[in-house]
Chain A
Amino acid sequence: MGTYIVRRLLLIPITLFVITIVVFIFMRAIPGDAGQVKCGAAGSFDEVCFEQVRKELGLDKSLFQQYTLWLGDIVLRGDFGFSPISREHINSEIGPRVWNTGQVGLLSIAFTLLIGIPVGAISAIRAGRPSDYVLRFFAVLGLSVPNFWLATLLIIFPAVWWGVRIAPDWVGWEDPLPHLQIIAVPAFLLSLAGGATLSRIVRSSMLEVLRSDFVRTSRAKGLRETVVVSRHVFRPSMIALFTIIGLQFSLVLGGSVIMESIFNIPGMGLWVIGAVAGRDFIVIQGVVVFFAAWFLVITLLVDVMYAWVDPRIRY
């Protein structure tokens, strides 16, 4: 177990290193740069202006130099660089933005569990009966309806019908209630697909346990069905949760791009959309590397927890 963790930990930097190269190449392949954007947005196509902005941002150096400088700053000083568009250091901005995305993400994981576990459990216990079919139908529906479409409905219609905004302006925790309202809706929409997936996993793993010998035994020795289900079936099936929580973390990161731009949440997703529009390579590079590191660490944690919870698993 110990060597496994050490090996995984050693592989993370290697993976991240390759990702930095790939992302860097992608960024430099995008037509246009921050120089053209800064000058061009004001309507100028003046080489003098370009040169000046490029020099400021170090875009005049060779690609290799740019790459090593960028990576060197991250590795040696933990410095992700300076955004020419927002005129701020990425390090100072990344914290609040990760937290904003994280709040939505954590809440959406909570919703995922709240939707997935009961739906899956009921569906398993009542397998083959109409309620099972109805719940499974809704689970597939949850996987199928595009969340941006639902988000549009939620934004437009309450405002039109009742003059109510589902997603008011971002306020932060100074106003806890409005703030909860703001993050709850995107979190709920993000949790639909995950909740549907989770319910299907819970259902199948519970069914597997329900058919196992020890459940038959516990029934045979006269335990009440509720006890059988809650103690002997439900608990072992919950191991599947660890997989889905790990998966949900990466879904949240991806989903945040669309949800944050619709609901105007100043998180990582909105940042990256703005950065793509502004050819703000430094921000995109930073966000991608940060997301990747986040993902790698979370999956490692999930795997370790998984092994810890389920002693059958050995690495």
Chain B
Amino acid sequence: MAEGYWGKYWRRRVSRRRVLAGSAAVGAGAAALVAVGCGDDDDDDDSAAPAATAAATQAAAAEATEAAEEAAAEATEAAEEAAAEATEAPSAVQRGGTFHHHKASQNTTLDPSVTVTDDTWASLTYSHLLGFSLNENSAWGDSAESWEQPDAQTLVFSLQDGLRFNPDAAGGREVTSEDFAFSFSRFPTSLSEHGSEVNQIQWGWMGVDRGASFETPDAKTFTINLAFPWASAVPSLGSTAMAVVAPEAVEAGGGHLKDTPNAGAGAYMFEDISESGNTYVRNPNYAGHSSDRGRFTADTPLIDRWEDAIIVDASAREARFIAGDSDIFGAIDKIQADLFANESNVQILEGVNNDHAIMELDGFKWAQHPLLREAVSLSIDWDGYIDVVLDGEGIRGAPVGPAFPQVLSQEEIRDLQQFDPARARQLWEQGGGDEVFPDGFVTVIATFGASTRHIEFIAQSIEENLGVPTRLEPADLANYVALAVAPAGQKIWHYFIAGENSLPTIPDYNALTHYVPNGYGAIFGGVYTHEHVLSANYPPEIIDVTHEIGTELQSRYDLQGATPDPEARTEILQELQRYIFTNFCCVLPLPVGSTKRFAIGSRVRNAPPVPDIENAASMGYHRTQNLWLEG
């Protein structure tokens, strides 16, 4: 397995395995994270929730106990050591060069407020108030030099000096707080202008459409008044959607930016957009950062150019990477990591996995049938899934992301989410499953090159243990999302299996947005709180039950967001997880891999650790400006 079967005879190159021992660093980082979460009880206990978001707000070091500080420092040290070891102590940082990137298809929009599928261009050409590191559980100032939170609903940012748009945007003038106010205020407009309900998750927490306001006392000070307290406000500001855009460009574009490149103040700007890919060059107006924590540089980013080639075929992408023509490949599984380990052009980073995967049940079809929902959950061989799909290297998923300290213990999840074919059949019979679903199930399967093994496994498991067949409805990229978010009563599928999609762009990694009506819960799961949405599409008998479940989920979710005390918040979050597990409505968490592996080219230096690396919002490689290329 470790050696290709032909490799030993054919390989001419000397294989050097360059695996960063990043896991050590991440382990230490995780320890720091837990320490921050637990040790953070020296806050005032004022119930009015000032410092509501204390744990997540200020940089962890500022608020955390000394223990946490130490742990964080250790983590950084360990990471540095590991990086140093892996890169064989490079002599000096080199400037220049072109970073070669690839992707499967051209982006569908150029407006950062609507993008959900491709974050490279948005990260390169736009700048944001801040980024949020998952590994360090702390925020990094980007456009914001510093910030403070005088009370639970107010955030005050002071912007850096010398922030300017690129020459194509607003003539390259200085960026002011007014521009941020404009950029954030336009979210609800961008929703109706070719916007997206899914995307709303990225900014809905601010409540821009529910009473939030922005103040600009002077050109360098920007104040956000949230509509309601939100514990994850600071991490959420790292999202790629939270970009500052030039109002002039929006106006010129007819109220949106979907066809307008270079409307931002990022470190790079588009040089060319074509069918074969995009190229980026430095933004000459980019001033750099005062941050001394790494990832940013004092002046311009170290790499001159980026090339993002569109390579349609998956094997061709892999060949490009192996041959050293791509500097980044992406997340890989254990088997692929074994394959890549022998390649000289590859280094593999390892760390904790922050994935979250779900199986959605369409509330319209399932809400009235609690027994059948439970039967389906009981018919899935969860441990088999870990064994077969995740190569035995997985953990049971919970409604809260695995990197979030409030997640339920594995033992408890196993107890709540069981595999019991006999009981499944019994419940199915009892609930009259064959009458309710006489034609079996339909699910949607992607045909655009993504692996579909996990979906095939679940369909097979349900068929074997419940006797209900599933038809896999193929969908290409275009149809896939459209089928997923089809309005209530018009969905063709009974269940829908989705990998994590929001976490790379939203660092609020508790993942609950997938379950609640204000997030994917409504779009996918069909549980609503708004009466009007229900009555428009649902028959009355379904309204009551989905409304009840939806309201329960949303109120508990809102409550945890507005709860300042970490312990109290943990309590609420854990109860919410139990509620979701025992209710089976209408989203079921799937097991996820316990280790994340990420393949990058061997000449890349200063790559951020896993899982930060893949998350644009968490200062991933796209936003790491001290990234450089050796040789």
Contact = CB atoms under 8 A, between A and B. Distances in A.
- Asked if A and B are interacting partners, one says yes
Nearest to B486: A45
Contact of A161 (B11, B192, B275, B481): B11
Interface in A27-55: 31-32, 36-46, 48-49, 52-53
Contact of A163 (B13, B115, B259, B485): B13
A167 B323 CA distance: 11
A264 B4 contact: no
B320 interface: yes
A85 B106 CA distance: 9
B194 A49 contact: yes
B458 to A, nearest CB: 23
B479 A43 contact: no
B80 interface: no
Interface of B: 4, 6-7, 10-13, 105-106, 108-109, 114-117, 191-199, 259, 275-276, 309-313, 315-316, 318-320, 322-325, 343-345, 448, 476-479, 481-482, 484-487, 523
Contacts of A40: 478-479, 481-482, 485
Interface string A102-134: 000000000000000000000000000000000
Contacts, number: 156
Given A40-B485, A42-B114, A168-B325, A160 B4 contact: yes
A278 interface: yes
A155 B321 CA distance: 12
Nearest to A39: B194
5 contacts: A46-B197, A48-B192, A85-B108, A93-B275, A158-B319
A168 to B, nearest CB: 7
A270 B312 contact: yes
A82 to B, nearest CB: 12
Of A31, A38, A48, A264, most B-chain CB atoms within 10 Å: A264
Contact of B115 (A42, A264, A273): A42
Given A43-B198, A261-B313, A163 B345 contact: yes
Contact of A155 (B192, B309, B316, B344): B316
A42 B319 contact: no
Contacts of B345: 163
A43 B309 contact: no
- When A and B form their complex, which 3 residue pairs have the shortest distance between CB atoms, in order from nearest? A43-B198, A40-B482, A42-B196
**Which secondary structure characterizes the binding site on chain A?**
helix
A170 B323 contact: no
Nearest to B315: A155
Nearest to A169: B309
Nearest to A85: B108
A31 B478 CA distance: 11
Interface residues of A, number: 51
A45 B478 contact: no
A160 B194 contact: no
A137 B323 CA distance: 35
B482 A37 contact: yes
B7 A161 contact: yes
B476 A276 contact: yes
Contact of B320 (A86, A165, A271): A165
A161 B12 contact: yes
A36 B105 contact: no
B194 A277 contact: no
A263 B478 CA distance: 22
B194 A156 contact: no
B6 A44 contact: no
A48 B197 CA distance: 12
A231 interface: no
A159 B192 contact: no
B357 to A, nearest CB: 17
Given A165-B320, A270-B312, A277-B448, A38 B105 contact: no
Given A49-B195, A264-B313, A43 B485 contact: yes
A162 B196 contact: no
A312 interface: no
A38 B108 contact: yes
Nearest to A36: B482
A164 interface: yes
A43 B106 contact: no
Given A36-B478, A163-B13, A261-B312, 9 more contacts: A42-B198, A43-B523, A44-B191, A45-B487, A49-B195, A155-B316, A159-B322, A165-B325, A262-B316
Of A37, A160, A166, A167, most B-chain CB atoms within 10 Å: A160
Contacts of B324: 163
